[in-house]
Structure 1
Amino acid sequence: MTKGSVRFESVTKRYGPVVALKPLTLEIESGTLCTLLGPSGCGKTTTLRLIAGLESASEGKILIGGEDVTHLSATYRRVSMVFQSYALFPHMTVADNVAYGLSVKRVPKGEAATRADAALEMVGLKGFGKRLPSELSGGQQQRVAVARAIVLEPEVLLLDEPLSNLDAKLRRHVREEIRQIQQRLGLTAVYVTHDQEEAMAVSDRIIVMNNAEIAQAGTPRDLYERPASAFIADFIGDANLLDVDVAQAGSETKVQLREHSFNLPRPTDLKGAAKLVLRPHQVRLSQAPSAMSLPAEVAYAAYLGNCIQYTLATAAGEIFAILPPSGQPFAKGDTVHVTWDPEDLRLVAA
């Protein structure tokens, strides 16, 4: 097992009778950024705190870089954590904040100052060392928190909802910086968020958690294009989940949607009731019906500049669509016909 890798072997966490984490086995490869993603209470933060040593495992084994750290305290684990609240000392300068962990480890003052300056330069804050945290923007404070973490030269960098206190535009900018720093240093990073877009933007791999266990793990593209369940399809990006019946499975899949019957160009093991996954950007609208179209009424239309969003009432249920702003947009109350490319569709269990 390489330096910086993280492995859980049947790790469980209980708080009395409450199981916060069901037996969990996972491996995070060295030098990758892996995001733990899921709704509140799914176990992602508990998993992060177990890696950090801030919680102890009830059962199982935790290894970092091949070393068993299950019973090792946080002080002796080569991990650093970036918290949601930044946790900067307001009375200390930026440089002193960054060097604080080094001083606790009794690194000589001159060396600590040099390393702190280098860390600040790495996060784009060269020359900011003499300022106080109150003199920085939210994004700059977050970068100080990242500098304070990486100056300790950890094997694993942990980030707990690091961007939740920033506005949307700044969040996008800072997440790009964090990703660039992680790749430049070759750090193993474990990132916790409930924001799907954020997870997809920064991750080599995403572990989606639900009900204290892994629902699915894979690359952002795997999870979006090949969801393993209705939960994943609905949680990773927007999705229309339509009730269908799989009339024929195997190498050629025949699907029944209301009165429409059509083939999907991929095999499936599903039979009977299933869910058809139709992404909003895969929806096509026309005024003329076709053999495979669903009649619909426009219940809502919103022009957002780069796209138009529609909510469509159909006999198969409500369908959400996102279309480019070209041509004459449809208005509320218009009758339209919903179509799609069968290549885009996926089936998941009902």
Structure 2
Amino acid sequence: MSEKGSVQFQGVTKRFGEVVALKPLDLDVQPGTLVTLLGPSGCGKTTTLRLIAGLESATEGRILIGGTDVTNLSATYRRVSMVFQSYALFPHMTVLENVAYGLTVKRVPKAEAHARAEEGLAMVGLAGFGRRLPSELSGGQQQRVAVARAVVLEPEVLLLDEPLSNLDAKLRRRVREEIRQIQQRLGLTAVYVTHDQEEAMAVSDRIIVMKNAEIAQEGAPEDLYERPASAFIADFIGDANLIDVDVTPGGATTAVDLLGRRIELPLATTVRGAGKLVLRPHQMVIRAEPTPYSLPAEVTYAAYLGSQIQYSLETQAGPLFASVAPKAKPFAVGEQVHVGFDPADLRIVPGA
């Protein structure tokens, strides 16, 4: 496979004085894939992106793009383009001039630069918008202009730093679909930074979850959701109820002690001793009568949202959150119920 567009970190560390912004990091982004760096504020994801772009220099380690060592190259000499959170469009320039700007800086003849800019606008669905000013566009259109400006430079790697954070929820969904379609259509390698786990799952081939300046877990979206390696990942990738249990693995089955009850589960685990059951809100089952896999609970909150009803429940195992399909007579706040689960839905993570 060609290395063009690949990104590799080999033991890359970044320090700002005494502050370690990135612990020794090994990273491998395959050509033509969209990889998202996901995590809470201060986890190191934006520092990683800026190191790829050449906007920060590595304290230790090597950075390779397309198989070439670029560790000591400035941003000017790297075949990367970045889409910033703020869009960074020039308000006094037309849309066409904004898209062509990077090409003109590289001394591409004006006619060619404008022709390529027109192609870029057509690519993001803005053909015919070239004569407008940025102020005459919606937020979503401005974001697409920023993407077009980055793509016309024909980068090996497209970098996107929180590109949708300034858009409302409905527009975010539409623009993220458009960005993903452009990336796939052009076969671009893209590294995308966000703190929004739904956004990451919607656009990514692979997600790298970061915590405390290092990688907590990486994998395909479904791997992280279905097979979290820790309570942090389970809680960060989608909503999760985490229930403390004592775990005794037994090959293909696992016994857990839940509030003094021994429950046999049809799953294998490497966790022994203190652990947590991971149960997603949509996997909860609420009934009036108990089952072998249920806990008594009191409804403390209920919200009808059309396609679902959300419940908060108080149990001996702690507060739980459930999201279930509407029924003819919803449970009322204060009602005594039994909240259960299908054992096949459960996952177990270490308790620490």
Letter in 2 for 1:138: G
Letter in 1 for 2:193: V
Within a 5 Å distance, the mapping from 1:98-137 to structure 2 comes to 98-137=99-138
Gaps of 5+ in 1: none
Structure-1-length-normalised TM-score:
0.99
The 1-side partners of 2:162 and 2:42 are apart by: 14
The 2-side partners of 1:226 and 1:205 are apart by: 14
| Secondary structure in structure 2 of the residue aligned to 1:306 | coil
The 1-side partners of 2:268 and 2:180 are apart by: 37
Identity of aligned residues (%): 75
**Aligned-residue offset at 1:73:** 0.5
Paired residue for 2:143? Answer: 142
- Conserved in 2, the CA contact under 8 Å of 1:249 and 1:271? no
| Secondary structure in structure 2 of the residue aligned to 1:75 | helix
Paired residue for 1:335? Answer: 336
**Aligned-residue offset at 1:269:** 1.5
The 1-side partners of 2:264 and 2:239 are apart by: 24
Letter in 1 for 2:202: A
**Aligned-residue offset at 1:222:** 0.3
**Aligned-residue offset at 1:292:** 2.4
The 1-side partners of 2:242 and 2:64 are apart by: 39
**Aligned-residue offset at 1:255:** 0.9
- Conserved in 1, the CA contact under 8 Å of 2:293 and 2:342? no
The 2-side partners of 1:30 and 1:264 are apart by: 41
Paired residue for 1:50? Answer: 51
The 1-side partners of 2:292 and 2:177 are apart by: 45
The 1-side partners of 2:323 and 2:80 are apart by: 42
Letter in 2 for 1:180: Q
Letter in 2 for 1:22: K
Paired residue for 2:345? Answer: 344
Structure-2-length-normalised TM-score:
0.98
**Aligned-residue offset at 1:99:** 0.2
Is 1:96 the equivalent of 2:86? Answer: no
Letter in 2 for 1:117: E
Paired residue for 2:235? Answer: 234
- Deviation track 1:199-242 (CA, whole Å, cap 9, x = no partner) reads 00000000000000000000000000000000000000000000
- Conserved in 1, the CA contact under 8 Å of 2:293 and 2:343? no
The 2-side partners of 1:248 and 1:119 are apart by: 56
Give the CA RMSD over aligned residues: 0.8
Is 1:182 the equivalent of 2:147? Answer: no
The 1-side partners of 2:7 and 2:252 are apart by: 39
- Deviation track 1:22-77 (CA, whole Å, cap 9, x = no partner) reads 00001000000000000000000000000000000000000001000000100010
- Deviation track 1:94-116 (CA, whole Å, cap 9, x = no partner) reads 00000000000000111101100
Paired residue for 2:154? Answer: 153
Paired residue for 1:11? Answer: 12
Is 1:36 the equivalent of 2:32? Answer: no
| Secondary structure in structure 2 of the residue aligned to 1:224 | helix
Gaps of 5+ in 2: none
The 1-side partners of 2:327 and 2:206 are apart by: 35
- Conserved in 1, the CA contact under 8 Å of 2:22 and 2:47? yes
**Aligned-residue offset at 1:268:** 1.2
Letter in 2 for 1:60: G
| Secondary structure in structure 2 of the residue aligned to 1:23 | strand
| Secondary structure in structure 2 of the residue aligned to 1:180 | helix
Is 1:293 the equivalent of 2:288? Answer: no
Is 1:315 the equivalent of 2:316? Answer: yes
**Aligned-residue offset at 1:263:** 1.7
Paired residue for 1:212? Answer: 213
- Conserved in 2, the CA contact under 8 Å of 1:40 and 1:194? yes
- Conserved in 2, the CA contact under 8 Å of 1:34 and 1:206? yes
The 2-side partners of 1:121 and 1:19 are apart by: 43
Letter in 1 for 2:243: L
Letter in 2 for 1:339: G
The 2-side partners of 1:113 and 1:290 are apart by: 68
Within a 5 Å distance, the mapping from 1:232-311 to structure 2 comes to 232-311=233-312
- Deviation track 1:132-181 (CA, whole Å, cap 9, x = no partner) reads 00000000000000000000000000000000000000010000000000
| Secondary structure in structure 2 of the residue aligned to 1:106 | coil
Which moves more between the two structures, 186-195 or 322-331?
Answer: 322-331
The 2-side partners of 1:130 and 1:292 are apart by: 64
Aligned residues: 350
- Conserved in 1, the CA contact under 8 Å of 2:6 and 2:65? yes
Which moves more between the two structures, 46-55 or 334-343?
Answer: 334-343
Letter in 2 for 1:122: M
| Secondary structure in structure 1 of the residue aligned to 2:114 | helix
Paired residue for 1:193? Answer: 194
